[in-house]
Each structure stands twice: as structure tokens, then as C-alpha cells.
Homo-oligomer: A and B are copies of this chain.
Amino acid sequence: MRQPVDRTPVWMMRQAGRYLPEYRATRARAGDFLSLCKNTPLACEVTLQPLERYPLDAAILFSDILTIPDALGLGLYFETGEGPKFRRTIRSAADVDALPTLTADTDLDYVMRAVSTIRQELNGRVPLIGFSGSPWTLATYMVEGGSSRDFREAKRLMYSEPAVMHRLLDHLARSVTDYLNSQIRAGAQAVQIFDTWGGVLSTWAYDEFSLRYMKKIVNGLIREYGGRRVPVILFTKNGGQWLESIADSGADAVGLDWTTDIGNARARVGDRVALQGNMDPAMLFAPPARIRQEVADILRRYGSGPGHIFNLGHGITPDVDPAHAGAFIEAVVELSPEYHR
């Protein structure tokens, strides 16, 4: 990353997703979402679908951020319109101590099979990005038993019994490190850590309960594989206030949500890290001409030179028109070369 390029690279979080009719068709064949994640040929198929439509610069592994807690025995399931849920929750020291040690190669072998199959199918066309949820983000789901509005159970544990929360996060940091290293050995050429819920913490709690464990992971990752650098991207939604410390984490790139001005972000982090982002996914509901104008504005704010990966500031939403996603990517392809002369 931060290498000279002819144009700004572009990919989209959740690019293999429900907004694509071909994805919905494949998912219907698989049954539910989890069956699709666990079906190697079909997970490979949906990972490649957006690359057939758009000139994207990376494939992103089709999987879920909650595979680790599922493999740890919590029983992940999805209820329509309700988001992910777990059959078991983690709320005490005894619950944490009873968690098994993850061996990703065997416990999440379906993910590794998908990674190696996708790499073979890609055949060098574009790199493959693997990913995991962050320890704090995984912990919120494990403690709450699903999504939450106010994270009261996760915060109750964190504030009341910080040592127990730290033990859980430490267990998860080791699990995520093993999981991402397995993905790298299976063929992932870059990895991203998704901290969807770090932004619900206060500044000190973010440092202590989220960033600290992401740093541990970054330090434990295979950073060179097959003779090439394996870049690590760290994304904390609503982490714009903490960019300096995120940029000091050891990651190669920092993901920005749309609330942060990318020109201001670049000024704050300098050339320590690349920046990934950051168009509001809701912009894809606007007409293509408006989308193009927003792409132009973000390119202008970032300015000239390398170090920008164009992306949305969060995952693409299900009812976006695929033609609008196309207009977004086309605008990056057409408008960015002037910033790389």
C-alpha cells in the first residue's frame, strides 16, 4: 500500500451482497446466509460475482464477521430482519473460562477452503482480502447475544468486571490472530479487521478495550507471505476522533467511515498509513450524476499521490440499484487518474 498507481484503487465493503440479483439467486440455492458461507463453491461464486460486473481492484472473501464465536460454540443464527443472534451468551468469568481454544484451520476449515478456492479461481486477476471482526466487536455480540442499541450488557461487564472482559478480549485476540493467519496461509493477500462497534466506547475505553487488542493482533499477524507484504487494514466505525492512535497501531491502512473528512484525516495521519474510504453508502440512493460529483469531491479532498483506496464508509446496503454501484466505481476509475500523474 501507498505504492504509486495509475489510478485510485477501489472496492466496496460487502461488495458480494444482496444488492446483486445474481447474489440473491445463488443464496436461494444455498438456503440461508450461514449455509452460503459454509458452502465452498457457492461462497466462491458470490465472492467473484461483483468482479464480473465491475472493474474492482480486489475480491473480498464472502463470509460473516461472527464466524469465530460460532466456532467457539455459541450457536450463531439469523432471524429475518433481526440481525445475528447467538443461542448462548458470555456474561461471567466461568463463561469465559469455558470457551474452547480456537484452531482456525480445523474449526473454521470451511473459511480456509473458500479462501483457497477463490484464490485459484481468481488466478492472479486481483488480490483477495480476508477479514475478521475485532475482539471488542465480537465480544459485544457474544455478551449481548446479538445486536444491541445501547450495549448495556457488554458495558455492564466491561465497567463492573473489567478483568473478565479483558480475559474474553484476550481470548478473542488470540483467536482472531490465528484465524487471520490461517486465512493468509490459505491465500488471503491482505486482511481487514472490522471494529464495527468500537465507536460506542469512550476515548479511554476504546484504547483499553478495543484498540489494544487490535494492536495485539496486528503484532501477531504474518506480515510477509510468499515473498510479499500482507497489508493489514483496520476499520473502526465512528472512530474518526481517534485516527492518530489508530494510525499508530501498526496497521498499513485505516478504514474511514463517511463522517470524517478524508482531507482532514490525511493531514492528521500524514503518510504513516494508507486511508480506505469513505463515501456515505446512502449516497448510492442518489442519481448517478450526484454519485459522480461526490466521488470527485472525495478525490479532491484527499488530493494527489498514493495512499488512498476508494471505498464506501460502510457496507453497501441491500436495496441499492447495481447500476448506481457501477456509477460509483466508474467515477473512481475515470476521475482518479489525474491525481496520480
Q: How many copies does the complex hold?
A: 2
* A135-177 to B contact mask, C-beta < 8 Å, 1/0: 0000000000000001110011001100000000000000000
Question: For chain A residues 276-293, which have a beta carbon within 8 Å of chain B?
Answer: 280-283, 285-287, 290
CA distance A200 to B264 in the complex (A): 18
CA distance A183 to B175 in the complex (A): 56
- Interface residue? A3 (CB, 8 A): no
Chain A interface, >50% SS class: helix
- Interface residue? A6 (CB, 8 A): no
- Interface residue? A240 (CB, 8 A): yes
* A240-253 to B contact mask, C-beta < 8 Å, 1/0: 11000000000000
A241-B259, A260-B241 given; A159·B201 CB < 8 A: no
CB-CB < 8 A to A156: which residues of B? 282, 285-286
Name A's B-contacting residues (CB within 8 A): 150-152, 155-156, 159-160, 199-206, 238, 240-241, 258-261, 264, 280-283, 285-287, 290, 294, 297, 313, 317
Beyond contacts A155-B280, A159-B283: 12 other A-B pairs, Cβ-Cβ < 8 A, are A152-B282, A152-B285, A152-B317, A155-B282, A155-B285, A156-B282, A160-B286, A200-B259, A203-B261, A203-B264, A204-B261, A204-B297
